[in-house]
Structure 1
Amino acid sequence: MKILLRGDNVEITQAMKEHAEGKIAKLDKYIEDKETTANILVKIRGFSHKVEVTIPLKKYILRAEETQENFYSAIDVVIDKLERQIRKNKTRLEQRYYHETKDTSFIKEYKEEEQKIVKRKKIEIKPMDEEEAVLQLELLGHQFYLYKDADSNKPTIIYKRKEGNYGIIESE
């Protein structure tokens, strides 16, 4: 796999590049296409290093990020996250795309127990504005909240981001 390592407010050293290459090599056993490029972005904010890794494959995109005190521990955690994503979703992806293309060569063979949906809820989606949705999210203590935007009348998701701010996903 090819690696594109970039830094935002940080100079990428040879040691960082070699460490990243060594860690990314762990994922080669799962990815068939050796022309795939892993995009790694390193950012320094204050005293922490944030590492974002994005790997575009044929049928989906692998992505993980982690913030740690140093680059080396952040890249280690990110690669572990990506490996878990691949193993967890391999069977699900094969079943989904088998009927469409019968081509699952983008992921090597891996046996994993089947994931099950263990809970299902039906909720009434109430119209509200963003401020009320934030309040509901905080009152419930959830990571996300589904509501109907009062202005657009469309389903919208508000979610809590790692840094404590909020994000919104709007449907079209």
Structure 2
Amino acid sequence: MNLTISGHHIDVTPAIREYVQNKLERVRRHFDQLIDVSVILSVDNLTEKEKRQKAEINLRMSGKTVFVESVAQDLYAAIDTLIDKLDRQVMKHKDKVQNHNHETIKHLSEAEIPASPA
């Protein structure tokens, strides 16, 4: 897995980098087929009192690309919300990939095959 953490208008300190890596371990624990992860942390200066901290992630995995973003006044809160959203989407994708409950039509008996509307 390739991990890229970059910052726009913010210096990515080792503490922030380690925090993001620790949070991404939760996603990796649920789904380990990640190919590429790109995290962008940014600060938007709207007014002096109102600074928006924004965290974005672009995650490529086998069969799908997931983009999630989160905005908060605190960067760590934005990262927490981002990881929560990402974890839900990854778990949803994993459930779709691993859902093998559908049987093919050739294995169903003729009584179980739904009739096509004519």
Report the TM-score, using the length of structure 1 for normalisation.
0.51
Q: Aligned match of 2:89 in 61, 79, 85?
A: 85
Counterpart residue number, 2:48: none
The one-letter amino acid paired with 1:50 is K
Unaligned ranges ≥5, structure 2: 46-50, 103-118
Matches within 5 A, 1:7-18: 7-18=7-18
Deviation at 1:37, TM superposition (A): 2.6
Q: Which runs of 4+ in 1 moved over 6 A?
A: none
1:62 to partner: Cα distance: 1.9
The residue aligned with 1:123 is none
| Aligned-partner SS, 1:3 | strand
2:69 aligns with: 65
Unaligned runs of 5+ in 1: 99-172
The size of the alignment, in residue pairs, is 97
Q: Give the letter for the 2:32 counterpart.
A: E
Q: How does 1:87-126 map to 2 (within 5 A)?
A: 87-95=91-99
Q: Whole-Å Cα distance in 2 between the matches of residues 16 and 32 of structure 1?
A: 23
Aligned to 2:28: 28
**2-side partners of 1:26 and 1:95: how far apart?**
22
Whether 1:53 and 2:57 are equivalent positions in the alignment is yes
Q: Give the 3-state SS of the residue equivalent to 2:39 in structure 1.
A: strand
CA RMSD between the two structures: 2.3
Q: Equivalents in 1 of 2:19, 2:95: separation in Å?
A: 30
Q: Helix, strand or coil: the match of 2:54?
A: strand
**Aligned-partner SS, 2:57:** strand
Amino acid at match of 1:93: V
Q: Does 1:40 align with 2:39?
A: yes
Corresponding position of 2:5: 5
Superimposed CA distance per residue, residues 115-142 of structure 1 (whole angstroms, 9 cap, x where no aligned partner): xxxxxxxxxxxxxxxxxxxxxxxxxxxx
Identity of aligned residues (%): 22
What TM-score do you get using the length of structure 2 for normalisation? 0.72
Residue 23 of structure 1 and its aligned partner are, at CA, apart by 0.4
